[in-house]
Amino acid sequence: MDLSKNNWFRKLVHDLLSEEVLLPLEYMYSDEPVYHIIQPTGLMYGLPTNSGKATACDKTKEMAKVQLAASMVNIYKISEQNQSKSKYDHCLKMIYSFYKGLYPDLTPSAKNWIGKSRDASTLCEIVFDKRISKLIQVDKQNIWSCFFNNSQLFIDVFLFRLYYIASGDDTLLEYLRQQKDEIAFTSLKVIAAAAHANKKVVKEERHLFDVFINNKFLSNEKKRIALEYLEHGIGIQKITMENSDSWVLKKFFLELAIVTIWSDQVLDDMEIQFIKEFAQMMELGSADRELSLLAVEGFFIEFWNSLNLAADRLSLDVIQESFLNRLNYMISSYDHEIIRNIKSNEELVCLFSKASTSELDSEERFSFNHGLIKAVESLPVFRFIHLPETFLDYKKILKILPKKVVQAVLL
């Protein structure tokens, strides 16, 4: 998308809202689709991505701007039942009204300097530009030092959903402003607790915490308290969930803890135990916990180069091994479902048979990879998670598939 062109946001809104919503009715107001929309974008981790490899500051800001804008439109889309043409303008106005209420310093005048009225698309573009310029940071030496400011964009999307569900009720804005501050402060507690999980705070974790502390949205008193948390640690029992019913917010905090622990590129037994206890404290089950670990590991693997993560091949190997072992464990009890998914695709069955006796050409390998990943992603446990297709080639998938699956398909 060319952000230099006028009305790029209106075009994005039109394109996204023109696509059919392939979502069962029971999920329209649940948290799972919200997670499905946001998690692959990197906004939850403060690491906005696209499929390219650009790491320059301006490119990173462009990626973040598009991901933020698209996420907000998709949040609107999964809940909006109005199919009339007016939904495009309604979406634009809702997003602008949200930012005007929550961040009045970012919102421009409805008229330009010569007194001409600006349309809602132009107003939103100005807001997005100011929001991204204010938050997004790029540090090629340490990606973790950018985490807090960048991950604020997830909070924007999360709060916009609450605002939309309330039908744009402006009386909710004061509550949302309080929520914004509380979520940010709770994030500090989570990072401090995760950093102390193995009783030692490494430099990467301290870098991550320093950016939180230096953020001007926090009061001096909260900064003082947060510094005590980092120096002395904090028990997970002191991490209270203000919005205790929000599953996606709990997932954000859980994955924030996982990112913090992985920031030193090592996951030891004490840290794994911390993740288990933290998930249990938030009443997230073992499936949610394992999926979050899988999601973070898969995200790092898929975007390792474009995120400019540490160029330590051994550390990447460690994450890849952990991911494959976890994926193997999670699909081990779904052999019948995987067999059914594969056998429902005649081309995939043929490729499966051919791959067992001879080499596949490049086109066949692509089709085989794609088909196998879809067979796994179609399992109910993975319905709202994205698997790293660039990493999971068919040879890796065949190694982790239950033996019953391979035998049944080849019979």
287-317 pLDDT, tens digit each: 999 999 999 898 888 877 766 555 444 478 8
Residues 6+ apart with CB under 8 A from 203: none
On whether the CB atoms of residues 175 and 167 are closer than 8 A, the answer is no
Predicted local confidence at residue 202, as pLDDT: 67
pLDDT higher than 90, residue 48: no
Query: What are 71-113's pLDDT values in tens digits?
Result: 999 888 887 655 555 788 888 899 999 999 998 988 888 887 7
The answer to whether residue 286 scores a pLDDT higher than 80 is: yes
pLDDT per position as a tens digit, 111-166: 877 878 888 888 998 999 888 887 765 555 455 555 666 778 888 999 999 898 88
Q: Rounded mean pLDDT of 189-218?
A: 71
The pLDDT value recorded for residue 24 is 54
| DSSP conformation letters of 27-80 | GTTSSHHHHHHHGGGTGGGT----SS---SHHHHHHHHHHHHHHHHHHHHHHH-
Q: What is the pLDDT of residue 27?
A: 59
User: For residue 229, what pLDDT is reported?
Assistant: 80
